[in-house]
Amino acid sequence: MKCTKRSKIILIPYPAQGHVTPMLKLASAFHNRGFGTIIVTPKYIHYQIVSRLVESKDQTLSMPIPDGLDKATPQDFFAIEMAMENNMPVHLEAMVRKLDEDGGVVCMVVDLLASWAIEVANRCSVPVAGFWPAMLATYRLIATIPDLVRKSLISDAGIPQRLGTICLPDQPILSTEDVPWLVGSLAASKARFKFWTRTLDRSKTLRWLLVNSFPDEYIDGKQTQLAENSQDHHAPLVFPIGPLSKHAVSKNIPSFWEEDKSCLDWLDKQKPDSVSGSPIGRWVSPIGEGKVNNLALALEESGRPFIWVLGCAWREGLPVGYLQRVAMQGKVVSWAPQMEVLQHEVVGCYLTHCGWNSTMEAIQCQ
């Protein structure tokens, strides 16, 4: 497609740091190829990143839509889901129709976790591609839900009916107890499963799925093979486009939270390859005081210098007097400039929660 000055691509991420970050990298890659890129986020996200986008001189335009979220309400998975389903579609549709008055919107790219926006694109008659910000294997596991139900391995509500194995080509064998929606209470697990089944249903209209992974992740993976191995003939054409970091022009991706740069000064004073880095995702719920306590003691007893990214909500599990006791050994911060930390010559070990972005960045910084 020949690109003109008016050719715009609208990108809709799921409103979490681990989803906005790769979407911004994708926007940067599109912009480098001559497209005007617009990333649309809920207001509470927009105001967290817009000033940092300006500071980083990123050419992607950030536009907010009302989200209806009460500032006093915890912005967890279920609150965000309700906002996306009930409040955001009408505002996004009005925005898309306004931006496309001159036919300038050539495509929308929608994070599958924000599947509500697929329906908006269809109503506006704008071509839409799905985006999966994680590894292809996780999408394949979600996409196998209809087969798991047909085989009576799980109920219509997503609850395992018997202990069974999930065998996907070229992937480790999983158990029905490993499915990703089994998080929290029974009610929470059922609600997460409903979220995923709705996502798959909306994705049936997609022709393309862009995946933030590399072609070799799926052995002998062909763009059509995913559909051929499924009884669902609505499977989209999959394009592995990662790792996105190698395509993005801007290297300074805005963070939702203020980065504590003092940790870089602390790293400068350590010996090469001596420091253990331990980040934990900020969006996920705290893992529990007991686990935080165990991890804290393990870092202390290692005897190695460490930098630990630990949000304030997680710190209740720290042993009494811990921060004072390890002040000479470690540095505990609420948020850090992760790529700068990983690239520092003194970081010799990286303990991660295995988020896909963190994993890819760690490999990149080897």
Q: Is the pLDDT of residue 73 over 90?
A: no
pLDDT tens digits for 243-283? Answer: 887 665 555 666 777 788 999 999 999 999 999 988 765 55
Question: Torsions phi, psi of 210, nearest 5?
Answer: -90, 125
| Single pTM value for the model | 0.85
- Average pLDDT on 156-177 reads 89
Determine the CATH number of domain 262-364.
3.40.50.2000
Each domain of the chain, given as residue ranges in start order, spans: 8-246, 262-364
Half-sphere exposure of 29 (CA within 13 A, CB side): 18
Instruction: Note the pLDDT of residue 209.
Output: 96
- Could you report the per-residue pLDDT of 275-320, keeping only the tens digit for each? 998 876 555 555 678 888 999 999 999 999 999 998 887 888 899 9
Question: Band of the pLDDT at 232, cuts 50, 70, 90?
Answer: low
Lowest mean pLDDT among 38-52, 62-76, 244-258: 244-258
Q: How confident is the model at residue 227 (pLDDT cuts 50, 70, 90)?
A: very low
β partners of residue 61: 38
Helix (H, G, I), strand (E, B) or coil at 218: coil
Phi and psi, residue 40, nearest 5° = -110, 125
Which residues, at least 6 apart from 284, have a Cβ–Cβ distance to it below 8 Å?
353
Confidence of residue 18 (pLDDT cuts 50, 70, 90): confident
Same fold, 8-246 and 262-364: yes
Position 249 scores a pLDDT of 53
More reliable by pLDDT, 159 or 73: 159
Select the more confidently predicted residue: 57 or 150.
150
pLDDT at site 6? 57
Q: Which residues 6+ apart lie within 8 Å of 123 measured at CB? A: 93
Of 158-172, 176-190, 217-231, the one with minimum mean pLDDT is 217-231
Query: What is the CATH architecture of 8-246?
Result: 3-Layer(aba) Sandwich (3.40)
CA distances from 38 to 10, 20, 250, 254, 349 (A): 5, 12, 15, 15, 37
Pick the more confident residue, 171 or 240: 240
Sheet holding 105-111, edge to edge: 61-65, 36-42, 8-12, 105-111, 128-132, 208-211, 237-240
